[in-house]
Amino acid sequence: MHTLSQLNAGELNGIKRLSLSENISEFPMAILSLADSLEVLDLSDNKLSSLPTEIAQLSKLKIIFASNNCFTVLPEALGACPSLEMVGFKSNQIKCVPEAALPAKLRWLILTDNHIEVLPESLGERPRLQKLALAGNRLTTLPTTMHKLENLELLRLSANQLTECPEQVLDLPKLAWFAFAGNPFCKSDVVIESVPSIASSSYTLKNILGQGASGVIYRASWNRSQADLSEYQFPEQIAVKVFKGEVTSDGYPQDELQACLKVGNHTNLVQSLAQVEAPDTLSLIMALIPAHYKNLGLPPCLQSCTRDRFTDDFSLSAKQITKMVTQMTAVFDHLHDNQVCHGDLYAHNTLFDEQANIIVGDFGAASMYHMLTAAQQLKVKQIESRALQYFIDDLLSVCSDSGFLNPLK
């Protein structure tokens, strides 16, 4: 993190990345002195509500973050930035997205958790767009031009007010990671009781095992003897996911829970054991994953955009990859047999051990689709089949030998 005093004193000349968070309410014009070098500008967690037209002078600017500010309109000045590729304005109060606000080279647009009801038709005129995050808005329709987004790979539409399934995106040729739960068009009255409900007094939370957009996962211990819970045959080692309760980058926690329960259990999925009976807290009890499992991949970065990464020294044999892909294919079939789209099939959401056994988790972007037409259901499955193929491609990028046998062929 940098400071305004450093900026104003000229101490930051030549830097490529600038981060300022000091309750700023007006754009510091001294930023323009960095025009010859600045590529990433992070103005998140301030009180900004506008940007000057002069920001277009930042000719090398590729990425701008302005989350948690006071914008009600996505600034039109962004559209004039010649090199801008990534725009992140999460958690503002944006209601309006002007036609001219979208940069010509846009690859990645994050407008999660705003108040947007309508998007401009110019969105479909951004052919380089790969990643589009719109969860937690008030969209009732999508631009008809979105059918032109032939490079779009990840789309988050959850927690909006879409009344009809957006047909214009279902045929996009590269779309692979798709989240749409929490909209009227896919509302479900199905009550899923695949696991029992128990009281929160049954266990005690221990240390944090991990956390993500939708909640925190704790190690937990039972407060009652196993005999008291014998009717459920719960394992002794458990974890508890406590959902945060608000809309996330992927959608509503309640939709995640329902999709997770609808899928049920599978050898290669994190095992759900019970829901928690509590008036103000949404929680899910799960089997504790053995400690020797570790993450298969790293999440995408700004450069890779939608694709997973691996550490430089990481590799897998063709035999290991064949086994992992066979298991992931079985997970895919199980998900779609239960009419659930995971929405986030990635190596970084997969755990593995030395025997190449995998466990898939993180249902934050999952969407049930049993209420859609047969044709729409088929297209949703086809979309996720691309994620499965990308998963295979990413693993093959770290393959140490030949001999991979693709179970999809």
Distance in Å from the first CA to the final CA of the chain: 50
Residue bearing tokens 């719960």: 234
Look at the chain and count its residues.
Answer: 409
What DSSP state is assigned to residue 307? S
Sheet strands (E) in 149-298: 154-156, 177-179, 197-199, 203-211, 215-222, 238-243, 272-277, 283-287, 294-295
What DSSP state is assigned to residue 394? H
Known binding residues are: 241
**Rounded CA gap, 402 and 340, in Å?**
34
Rounded to a whole number of angstroms, the CA Rg of the chain reads 23
Burial of residue 182, with CB atoms counted within 10 A of its CB: 0-12 exposed, 13-18 middle, 19 or more buried: buried
CA-nearest of 387, 301, 405, 398 to 346 is 387
DSSP string, 268-310: TBPPEEEEEE-SS--EEEEEPPPTT-EES-B---TTTTTS-B-
**Rounded CA gap, 83 and 368, in Å?**
38
Q: Assign 252 to helix, strand or coil.
A: coil
Known binding residues for ATP are: 241
CA-nearest of 405, 209, 190, 400 to 290 is 209
Residue 295 token pair: 């993450």
Beta bridge partners of 207: none
Residue bearing tokens 């506008």: 50
Cα angle value 25/110/366 (rounded, 5°): 135
